Amino acid sequence: MPELAAFSDSYAEARRKFVEAARRAGAKLTSYQHPDQRGPAGEALYLDVSVLGPGDASRVFVVGSGTHGIEGYSGSAAQRAWLRGRPRLPKDTAVIFFHAHNPWGFAHKTRVTEENVDLNRNFIDFGKPPPANPGYEALHPAIAMREWNEDSIAAAFAQLDAYREKAGEKAFSDAFNGGQYTRQDGVFFGGARPQWSNGAFRAAVETHLQNARKVAFLDLHTGIGPWCEHIYICFHAEGAPARERARAWWGERAVNLQGVTHKKLATYNGTIIDAFAEMLPRAEAVTSIVVEFGTLPRRDMQRAGLAQRWMRFEGPRDPVLAAKMRREYEAAFYPAAPEWRRAVLEQSQDFIDRGVAGISSS
């Protein structure tokens, strides 16, 4: 299965493959190095930006990977495979790939940054009081479990389920994963300050997108949706022109939440796609979309989130348990199954092509 060589086992390997594919495709590469963090093997960490096509193109399609660190392994493989397909672009169109928005999490195989921050909740205005999330405060004691075993996990889920039944699905999602700014040892922590990855992303957008008039941004994730399928999450309001463009380019499923495995999605604070649009006030049209490759059922993903927090803050003092938890966590966000990885490649080449065709004809 030579096509599965697009996938990597480490951040350094993924970066090497991405950089090589970008150079071979004739893309121009700009790298933003993290000043004081390294990967687990001591490797340097970067946000890498490849620009294929004219640097002053008025139509630009951007594909980002690794907003949630470990989720970047599949996004990186999709980006590399597309570049290796020797793409030819329409006139006045550029394709920009942002590789590893959160390289620390990518390298350390976790969703979060070096400060346990969910980068996709970090793009708030830190000059103002952060959004309150009283629901999370109610859930935190259950989430912050001291021991990790099947009994303690069941007890935590019993408390989460009780809250869900009382408050409803939407309020539960808002509380659990909408983002919170009070517990740095919690889950979906949006941070007490902008992360390095936040600043690097803003610098890259300012450098590469200021001439663009028509822009689209597709951010690649994993963990929501059915196994071996991708789903779309569109945050543009009903009736907005951007929502209609997403529908025209990717079909009805781009806007109808087909396949989304959350009963109700949270209202998210501080997302990267909101920040992206706000940074481009002179663009005539900005279309943004999140694409998720489905992995495991939602409960398993919630368990993975609790495991990540526990591994970081509570233990593990038992190396056998630590290794088992790490394997489970990685399988939740970056499955090794060949059929899953083939599905990522097949589906991503199609939806990236659709985005390029869409931006060039809009």
Residues 6+ apart with CB under 8 A from 183: 136, 137, 140, 144, 189
61 phi and psi angles, rounded to 5 deg = -110, 125
Of the pair 222, 287, the CB lying nearest Zn ion is at 222
Nearer to Zn ion, 225 or 358 (CB): 225
Whichever of 71 and 174 has its CB closer to Zn ion, that residue is: 71
Cβ neighbours for 306, distance < 8 A, ≥ 6 positions apart: 143, 145, 153, 156, 187
* Helix-then-strand count for the chain, H and E: 12, 7
CB atoms within 10 A of CB 206: 11
Is residue 68 at the binding interface for Zn ion, with CB under 5 A as the rule? yes
Smallest distance, Å, CB 72 to Zn ion? 9
Q: Output the 3-class SS for 138-183.
A: HHHHHHCCCCCCHHHHHHHHHHHHHHHHHHCHHHHHHHHHCCECCC
Q: Can residue 121 be called a binding residue for Zn ion (CB under 5 A)? A: no
User: Nearest approach, Cβ of 249 to Zn ion (angstroms)?
Assistant: 21
Nearer to Zn ion, 27 or 266 (CB): 266
Structure tokens at 12: 């350094």
Identity of the residue, 6 or 290, whose beta carbon is nearer to Zn ion in the bound complex: 290
Nearer to Zn ion, 68 or 341 (CB): 68
- Go through 319-357 and write b for each residue having 16 or more CB atoms within 10 A of its CB, e for each that does not: eeeeeebbeebbbbbbbeeeebbebbbebbeebbebbbe
* x/- letters, 206..245, toward Zn ion (CB under 5 A): ---------------x------------------------
Q: How far is the CB of 250 from Zn ion (least distance, A)?
A: 18
**By beta-carbon distance, which residue lies closest to Zn ion?**
221
Stretch that binds Zn ion, among 60-68, 156-164, 172-180, 275-283 (CB under 5 A): 60-68
As measured in angstroms, the least distance from the Cβ of 326 to Zn ion is 19
Q: How far is the CB of 268 from Zn ion (least distance, A)?
A: 11
101 part of the interface to Zn ion, by CB under 5 A: no
Q: Measured from the CB of residue 70, what is the shortest distance to Zn ion in angstroms?
A: 9
Region near Zn ion per CB under 5 A, out of 20-28, 71-79, 181-189, 207-215: 71-79
* Stretch of 1-9, 66-74, 199-207, 315-323 lying at the interface with Zn ion (CB under 5 A): 66-74
Q: How many residues does the chain have?
A: 362
Minimum distance, C-beta of residue 223 to Zn ion, in the bound complex (Å): 6
Q: What is the rounded CA–CA span in Å between residue 169 and residue 173?
A: 6
Residue numbers of the site for Zn ion (CB under 5 A)? 68, 71, 221
